[in-house]
Amino acid sequence: MNRFHVALLAGAFVLSSCGGGAGGGVPFALTFSKKSGTIPIAHVIIMIQENRSFNDLFATFPGADGTTKGKMGNRTIRLKKVSLIWPCDFGHSRSGFLKDYDGGKMDGFYLEGGGNGSKCTPQAGRHPYQYVDPAQIGPYWDIAGQYVLADRMFQTQGSGSFTGHQDLIRGGTTFDAALDDALVDFPTGAPWGCDAPPSTTTPMLVWTGSGIQGPKKGPFPCSDKFPGSGSYYKTLADLLDAKSVTWKYYTPALGGAGGLWNAFDMIASVRNGPEWKNNIISPNKKIFDDITNHTLPSVSWVIPDAPYSDHPGGGSGSGGPAWIASVVNAIGESSYYWGSTAIVVTWDDWGGFYDQVKPPQPFDHWGGLGFRVPMLIVSPYAREAVPGTPGYISHTQYEFGSIIKFVEDIWSLGRLGTTDTRANSIIDSFDFSQKQRTFTKIPSSHSRAYFEHLPPSNEPIDSE
């Protein structure tokens, strides 16, 4: 039982708000002025986990919008408390989303595919109607209990992990000048990008002006091969490069099956240029070296390996919460980085797990918004809760473009013109006028050293 659970049982939870010293040697302004808009953040780390709805991880978190009951057709049933380790990978493609959504009734989760394996059934049935035992995900609850938990973070579109990871580097998957054609689901061949077999195609949605058609047969998953795409498939990396802002994408080993999982493999200018060697960092645990050696870039994306992904089924394990905690602790215990860093943890899609909150706006050109996923924000300037309550719960409507927008605004990068234009920035989950908070280590089952010595699995994190 971690200290957050102990505090809840004791009926009190007091957040630390003591001041701390500035990260030594970090070149940025530590003073915040509402007039000047100076923000004391020089590093943003975007940590991505896999395939969990908000309610699956935080159904019973105090103050958050969670539930232990679900709508299954015309019935209301109790959700089952389960282990983080789950054997079946439920359907979470576009068709699965539409089944779950059921015209906004949010009662069709039982109609999804049930996943592969001997313990799985052809149809999901009651299995998506569950939530994870908080004791299994102590680090997530502990982070939420100290910092920020957002209970209105929505996927960009109702689709799976391939598009989720594209959305987290660019805020959308439209690839034409009119913004009418959007990639959806996942390519027909792997790896998911420019290295795919030549016959590979990617499904797409087509916006007609009054609604969406598809999925239809779409293009080869490489940005220089999108018909008439020109420069319309830019990513946040393009804006960062234009302003000489450093970035890295920490990914599992690229050899073998591990090569399936890399959002930048679809970005031709990265895949076929020097950034593939200089900015795509493998294996992902090299982030610890960069923290120790003070060579962390301004913006980082961090992808988990299969054994410490929260993805259900297959070769996934239960190490996800510890993996997140190990990176958070490495930053928090660094006098060089703690005072200048914001860590954003989110999940790429809902994974087919039940969630009761209807996406708040009608389907747009991207086929969204999709379902809720969790988001945690860790920073010495993360907004503090009312004393005596656990964490700060943000009820602001966010989407993946909200993270993109936050980064754009910190470095005055301009806009990509995807969902970053409409999205609410996550900046309201920070209070840059408050005294810098002292870091308290997040307890977890595995240390940083465990992950540093863990060999790469070369297993794909997801196949949908």
Q: What is the pLDDT of residues 173-207, one digit of tens each?
A: 999 988 899 999 999 998 899 999 999 999 999 99
Q: Residue 318's pLDDT is what?
A: 74
Residue 55 falls within a domain, yes or no? yes
Query: Based on the structure, what is the number of domains in the chain?
Result: 1
Three-state SS at 204: strand
Residue 101 falls within a domain, yes or no? no
Residue 116 falls within a domain, yes or no? no
Residue 7 falls within a domain, yes or no? yes
Which range (91-100, 119-128, 319-328, 417-426) has the least confidence? 119-128
Q: Is the pTM of this model over 0.75?
A: yes
Residue 122 falls within a domain, yes or no? no
Going by C-alpha positions, the residue among 110, 162, 134 that lies closest to residue 57 is 134
Residue 369 falls within a domain, yes or no? yes
Residue 324 falls within a domain, yes or no? yes
Specify the CATH number for the domain of residue 341. 3.40.720.10
Average pLDDT along the chain: 88
Residue 427 lies in domain: 3-68+137-173+233-453
Residue 202 falls within a domain, yes or no? no
Q: What is the pLDDT of residues 4-43, one digit of tens each?
A: 443 443 333 333 333 333 233 333 333 333 333 578 999 9
Q: What is the pLDDT of residues 99-151, one digit of tens each?
A: 999 999 999 999 999 887 667 888 999 999 999 999 999 999 999 999 999 99
